[in-house]
Amino acid sequence: MGNRKSEQRRETKETKVEITLDLDGTGKTEISTGIGFLDHMLTLLSRHSSFDLKLTCKGDLDVEDHHTVEDCGIVLGSALLEAVGEKRGIKRFAFSYVPMDEALARVVIDFSGRPCSVVNMDLKRDNVGGLACENIPHFIKSFAVASKTTIHADVIRGDNDHHKAEAVFKALALALKDAVKIIGTEIPSTKGVI
């Protein structure tokens, strides 16, 4: 199935993001976004998906965290899209449930070629670790659009926003790992293309 790696760079007046992604890695990470909690979530994503991920972002954090979060999601999604290529042989559909103490999250994925995200996290706080809670689902939406993936992410229960976010990112990681697994040689679609 070839080399399932990607290197991407995105530079705007708001951010400069560079990424290296290897879908067949071991979960090694080098993450630096300037937002501690986002670094933590991306590290979890890499570790539990077994994707090797190097991501650096210099963003206009003096304005706020929105541009950094959005552009990291866009670049990671673009890298994933390039790394899976024509999607030949991948499993395509996957889901995962992950508990984090009292929180329980479910993520369901389809590498459909149709970007769509439905994210229900019921976050209560304004921010967690310097990351605005409204930007946590926004990251997932930006990632889904750029990777042309359908993602449904739901927190089924939970009280602590840190636990809810962590459960969602771990569930996303495990679902991604399963969805990109090579299980055959055909493109997994009756259309013959995704």
pLDDT digits (tens, 9 = 90+) for 29-48: 999 999 999 999 999 999 99
Residue 189 lies in a domain: no
Q: How confident is the model at residue 1 (pLDDT cuts 50, 70, 90)?
A: low
C-alpha to C-alpha distance for 123 and 93, rounded to whole angstroms: 27
Q: Is residue 43 part of a domain?
A: yes
The residue range of the domain holding 125 is: 5-179
Q: Is residue 185 part of a domain?
A: no
Residue 68 lies in a domain: yes
Residue 192 falls within a domain, yes or no? no
This prediction's pTM: 0.97
Residue 184 forms part of a structural domain: no
Percentage of the chain lying above the pLDDT 90 cut: 96
Three-class DSSP category at 82: helix
Distance between CA atoms of 109 and 77, rounded to whole angstroms?
13
Burial string for 151-181 (b: 16+ CB within 10 Å, else e) reads bbbbbeebebbbbbbbbbbbbbbbbbbbbbe
Which tens digit of pLDDT belongs to each residue from 124-168? 999 999 999 999 999 999 999 999 999 999 999 999 999 999 999
Q: Is residue 187 part of a domain?
A: no
Tell me what the mean pLDDT of segment 63-74 comes to. 98
Query: Is 103 a member of any domain?
Result: yes
Number of domains in the chain: 1
CATH number of the domain that residue 158 is part of: 3.30.230.40
